Amino acid sequence: MTFDIIEPQVPAPEGSQDAARFDSSIAVRNVVENEPFGTGEELSFLAEELLPQWSDPAEPKRLLVAEIDGRVVARGLYETRAAADWPAAYVTVQVHPEARGLGIGGALLERIEAWARDEGRTRLLAWVATPPLAGPALPSPTGFGAVPEAAPSTGFLLRRGWRLEQVERASRYPLPDGVGDLEQRVAAALERSGPDYRVHAWVDRTPPEWREHVAALYTRMTTDAPSAGLEDPEDVWTVERLVETERTDAASPRTTLTVVAEHVPGGALVGYNQLSVPAERHRPVHQEDTLVVREHRGHRLGMLLKVANLLELQRREPGHPGVITYNAEENRPMLDVNEALGFVPIGYEGAWRKDLG
């Protein structure tokens, strides 16, 4: 069976063939994302939720689709940063289960690797979920977590010169019906953190008085979060980049809830938590970043930020079934917080790296 590989224009004019290809690529994404975890449609996104990301000039992206008889059966995603000397490229290759074994994944990856080489990127990074298969496992070099050797993705990547660097855990928190328990948890977390810290919350765009602080926190997220041997570079955020990113994100039907921790004596923000909330109440919420900067760890701020934002969610957007989050397996302090809250593991993914000679 033959296939064609096409690079659609994204974004594309509404009603165009390339716009239809983008929509179909997201349908493939949703099947492949949910498949290893058996989560139904909980990890699915709508095309209109993801499309605004393609207008962010700081994070350029390119898309490939593979078609069989005019039907999109796979996608390849290439993402980097705008700086010409940025060393890394972020890779996603997803093939619909009905189209596997035809060489499509390898062809997509080969094309994306060529793009990276042409741009002078020196390493590729990818995150790939794996099903819970029995048998031998390939351990993470961190000493925490492993991926099954029998997973097709494991052999696929190893044969092409990739190496496993880290394992991440996906967890799910079933949201309670009311706010009473969360209110009590927030009060307890505030008491444990002490009077030097207080929380602020907002929806979507950052208030002007906090933009410089939030840009600094976003930068610290790229250096302070565990990244094992991925060597993900420091990604510097400016106020201008923050404002532009929030402007493009406004085109998405999703809502972003942000809670931050302020160190009152210093007047600086020292941590944050974000939730990405779909418009439909039957769909789960995705927890994005949670960070406490290194200098302020040990004050239980991770718990404070998480419970405070869960309370914000229940007050502003009640009715969602749960919250899904991802954490590095070696990030025991954050996993301790999650487990204490009631997050339950639903699956694992490997973080992989390939150096380009």
* pLDDT mean over 195-215: 97
User: For position 39, what pLDDT does the model report?
Assistant: 85
Q: Which two tokens stand for residue 96?
A: 């619909």
pLDDT at 357: 78
* Residue 160's pLDDT band (cuts 50, 70, 90): very high
The pLDDT tens digits of the residues spanning 333-343 come to 999 999 999 99
Confidence of residue 273 (pLDDT cuts 50, 70, 90): very high
pLDDT of residue 226: 87
19-35 pLDDT, tens digit each: 999 999 999 999 999 99
CA atoms of 248 and 51, how far apart (whole Å) = 10
Residue in the structure block whose two tokens are 């991925």: 230
- The reported pLDDT for the residue numbered 19 is 98
Q: What does pLDDT average to over the chain?
A: 96
- In this model, does residue 169 exceed pLDDT 90? yes
The number of residues in the chain equals 357
Encode pLDDT of 342-356 as tens digits: 999 999 999 999 999
Ordered by where they begin, the domains of the chain are: 4-167 (3.40.630.30), 176-320 (3.40.630.30)
Distance CA 199, CA 186 (A): 10
Region 191-220 average pLDDT: 97
Tokens of 80: 């980097």
Write the pLDDT tens digit of every residue in 73-105.
Answer: 999 999 999 999 999 999 999 999 999 999 999
DSSP string, 89-133: EEEEEEE-GGGTTSSHHHHHHHHHHHHHHHTT--EEEEEEEE---
Mean pLDDT of 224-247: 93
- What is the tens place of the pLDDT at every residue in 58-76? 999 999 999 999 999 999 9
pLDDT tens profile 108-156: 999 999 999 999 999 999 999 999 888 999 999 999 999 999 999 999 9
